[in-house]
């Protein structure tokens, strides 16, 4: 969260860009204290009022910014008439509406939006914004994934009051997503919907039974896919032949280090120590930092990228050099096609390193440390089969020594060799 005070004008608002690190930016107007402009990572801009009253923070959504917004005739007399309609607002409209909301808060009254929420008419879209702003951004590392999931699969419901959503509708939606988008996507969408509504109940924004509770999830089989031995040469050849240097080097580093996708994509030069040959990840998925001692081949790739760097911040910059490489899906699909490999995900590269370490006889604790698993049980669950294969190979090698016997000496054969009779020529 980034905070700044500005004399908000049309030109200033339109010059504000999204944060390169994916955070929401908040700007507060100097003319109307409490008037807030939020710029999301996607570039969307919206107004809200934030005010402390009786030791509590009240945040009232006003509407989205638009320089061409128009209002009904009654707006000048009573700006609050648009508060329930998620309107588009110019900065002048936002100031008028903010003053009306602040006036009600100062008088101890609640604006119409808050009254509407007490009547259980808050929409799913409004509740999700509250969930992201008040909880997810501060307490989770995957809030951007949540935002993407909501925008893709729950966007049609964002204008619906939560009280009108039924359990049957949720079940039908999850069943449809399972068939069209996959079981994992369906389950994650259900979990997100359930979490958002539960928070709304805890915050007393709604008082209804959670329609996502009791909905059946799909049973998932844990994925064990990794690059097979016969696939490896083709994959490496296809990666090294890739013309896009960012995609090529990103995949080589991902495969060789086994680091998580997001950590490799967001690798910064300040995280790399070329002299000691180390890469420090300050914040990983499990909430801890991780230091990776780079191998000579890995260090060679990084040094070449440093000598030819296109960005002084990102090791793997995107098309816009101020941002990192975001989603290499197209390049990955191109490489898989060239390698003639099917059903291989980017995350399977991480599992590939762990699997080959296990098959080489490396202990699960060492593999867990290499992959930055917080709990060794996670490592055991995923790589136990590979480790057992390594154990069997080791036993077979031992058996050759334990059960080896001298080869028996050549015994005389009981078979009588028949020699051809001499023939007499006439």
Give domain status of residue 390, yes or no.
yes
How confident is residue 374, by pLDDT bands cut at 50, 70 and 90?
low
Specify the long-range contacts of residues 338-347, CB closer than 8 Å, at least 24 apart: 338/238, 338/241, 339/231, 339/234, 339/235, 339/237, 339/238, 340/234, 341/227, 341/231, 341/234, 341/235, 343/225, 344/225, 344/227, 344/231, 345/223, 345/225, 346/254, 346/261, 347/261
Q: What is the pLDDT of residue 31?
A: 92
Q: What is the pLDDT of residue 384?
A: 61
Give domain status of residue 403, yes or no.
no
pTM for this entry: 0.54
Average pLDDT over residues 12-26: 84
Residue 383 CA to residue 168 CA, distance in Å, equals: 39
Q: What is the CATH number of the domain that holds 12?
A: 3.30.160.390
* Those residues with Cβ within 8 angstroms of residue 276's Cβ, 6 or more apart along the chain or in another chain: none
Same domain flag for 271 and 380: yes
Q: What is the pLDDT of residue 61?
A: 83
Same domain flag for 240 and 364: yes
Structure tokens of 372? 């930055």
Average pLDDT over residues 358-362: 73
Give domain status of residue 223, yes or no.
no
Same domain flag for 175 and 83: no
Same domain flag for 274 and 371: yes
Q: What is the pLDDT of residue 119?
A: 44
> Considering only 168-177, 283-292, 402-411, which range has the smallest mean pLDDT?
402-411
Give the range with max mean pLDDT: 80-94, 261-275, 312-326: 261-275
Same domain flag for 33 and 89: yes
Same domain flag for 55 and 138: no
- Of residues 91, 41, 43, 42, the one with CA closest to residue 63: 91
Last residue of a domain, one of 185, 202, 219: 202
Structure tokens of 260? 């998580």
Mean pLDDT of the chain: 81
**Domain of 364, in residue numbers:** 232-398
> Considering only 46-55, 145-154, 245-254, 272-281, which range has the smallest mean pLDDT?
46-55
Q: What is the CA radius of gyration of the chain?
A: 31
Residue 115 has pLDDT above 80, yes or no: no
How confident is residue 43, by pLDDT bands cut at 50, 70 and 90?
confident
> Considering only 85-94, 234-243, 410-419, which range has the smallest mean pLDDT?
410-419
Q: Beta partners for 290? A: 281
* Those residues with Cβ within 8 angstroms of residue 45's Cβ, 6 or more apart along the chain or in another chain: 13, 16, 37, 38, 39, 64, 65
Last residue of a domain, one of 88, 118, 148: 118
Same domain flag for 114 and 186: no
- For residue 362, give the DSSP letter: -
Same domain flag for 240 and 375: yes
Residue 403 has pLDDT above 60, yes or no: yes
Same domain flag for 129 and 114: no
C-alpha triplet 49, 199, 206: angle, nearest 5°? 75
Same domain flag for 12 and 76: yes
Structure tokens of 270? 């300040």
Residue 66 has pLDDT above 70, yes or no: yes
Residue 136 CA to residue 337 CA, distance in Å, equals: 37
Tally the domains of the chain. Answer: 3
Instruction: List, edge to edge, every strand of the sheet that includes 278-281.
Output: 272-273, 278-281, 290-293
Q: What is the CATH number of the domain that holds 308?
A: 1.10.443.10
Residue 406 CA to residue 385 CA, distance in Å, equals: 35
Q: What is the pLDDT of residue 412?
A: 52
Residue 426 has pLDDT above 60, yes or no: no
Give domain status of residue 420, yes or no.
no
Q: What is the pLDDT of residue 424?
A: 37
Last residue of a domain, one of 118, 150, 168: 118
Of all residues in the chain, the percent with pLDDT exceeding 90 is: 31
User: Could you tell me the CA-to-CA distances from 250 to 168, 253, 270, 332 in Å, in that order?
Assistant: 44, 5, 17, 10
Residue 255 CA to residue 227 CA, distance in Å, equals: 10
Q: What is the pLDDT of residue 349?
A: 85
Same domain flag for 138 and 239: no
Average pLDDT over residues 196-209: 88
Average pLDDT over residues 123-151: 86
Structure tokens of 66? 């638009």
Q: What is the pLDDT of residue 304?
A: 93
How confident is residue 133, by pLDDT bands cut at 50, 70 and 90?
confident
Summarize pLDDT for 226-256 with one digit per residue, the tens: 888 889 899 999 999 999 999 999 999 988 8
Of all residues in the chain, the percent with pLDDT exceeding 70 is: 80
Q: What is the pLDDT of residue 299?
A: 92
Give domain status of residue 86, yes or no.
yes
Average pLDDT over residues 247-271: 90
Give domain status of residue 385, yes or no.
yes
Same domain flag for 114 and 135: no
Give domain status of residue 79, yes or no.
yes
Summarize pLDDT for 214-232 with one digit per residue, the tens: 898 888 766 678 888 889 8
Give domain status of residue 53, yes or no.
yes
Inter-residue contact 390 to 358 (CB < 8 Å): yes
């Amino acid at each position: 969260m980034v905070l700044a005070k500005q004399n908000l004008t049309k030109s200033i608002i339109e010059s504000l860009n999204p944060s390169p690190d994916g955070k929401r930016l908040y700007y507060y107007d100097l003319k109307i204290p409490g008037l807030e402009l939020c710029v999301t990572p996607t570039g969307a801009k919206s107004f809200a009022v934030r005010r402390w009253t009786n030791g509590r923070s009240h945040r009232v959504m006003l509407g989205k910014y638009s320089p061409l917004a128009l209002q009904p005739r009654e707006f000048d007399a009573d700006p609050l008439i648009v508060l329930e309609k998620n309107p588009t607002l110019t900065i002048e409209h936002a100031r008028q509406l903010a003053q009306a909301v602040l006036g009600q808060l100062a008088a101890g009254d609640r604006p119409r939006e808050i009254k509407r929420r007490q009547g259980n008419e808050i929409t799913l879209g409004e509740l999700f914004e509250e969930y992201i702003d008040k909880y997810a951004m501060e307490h989770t590392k995957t809030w951007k994934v949540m935002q993407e999931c909501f925008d893709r699969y729950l966007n049609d419901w964002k204008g619906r009051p939560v009280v009108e959503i039924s359990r049957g509708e949720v079940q039908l939606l999850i069943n449809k997503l399972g068939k069209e988008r996959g079981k994992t996507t369906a389950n994650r969408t259900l979990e997100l919907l359930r979490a958002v509504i539960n928070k709304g109940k805890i915050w007393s924004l709604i008082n209804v039974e959670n329609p996502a509770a009791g909905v059946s999830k799909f049973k998932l089989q844990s994925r064990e896919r990794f690059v097979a031995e016969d696939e490896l040469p083709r994959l490496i050849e296809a990666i090294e032949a890739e013309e896009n240097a960012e995609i090529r080097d990103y995949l080589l580093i991902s495969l060789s280090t086994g680091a998580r996708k997001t950590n490799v994509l967001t690798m910064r030069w300040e995280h790399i120590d070329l002299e000691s040959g180390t890469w420090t990840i300050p914040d990983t998925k499990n909430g801890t930092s991780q230091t990776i001692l780079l191998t000579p081949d890995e260090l060679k790739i990084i040094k070449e990228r440093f000598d030819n760097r296109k960005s002084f911040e990102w090791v793997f910059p995107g098309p816009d050099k101020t941002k990192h490489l975001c989603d290499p899906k197209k390049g990955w699909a191109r490489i898989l096609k060239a390698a003639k490999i099917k059903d291989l995900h980017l995350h399977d590269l991480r599992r590939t390193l762990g699997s080959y370490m296990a098959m080489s006889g490396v202990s699960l604790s060492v593999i867990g440390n290499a992959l930055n698993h917080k709990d060794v049980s996670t490592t055991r669950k995923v790589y136990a089969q590979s480790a057992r294969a390594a154990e069997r190979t080791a036993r077979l090698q031992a058996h050759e020594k334990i059960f080896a016997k001298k080869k028996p000496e050549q015994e005389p054969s009981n078979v009588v060799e028949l020699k051809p009779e001499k023939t007499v020529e006439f």
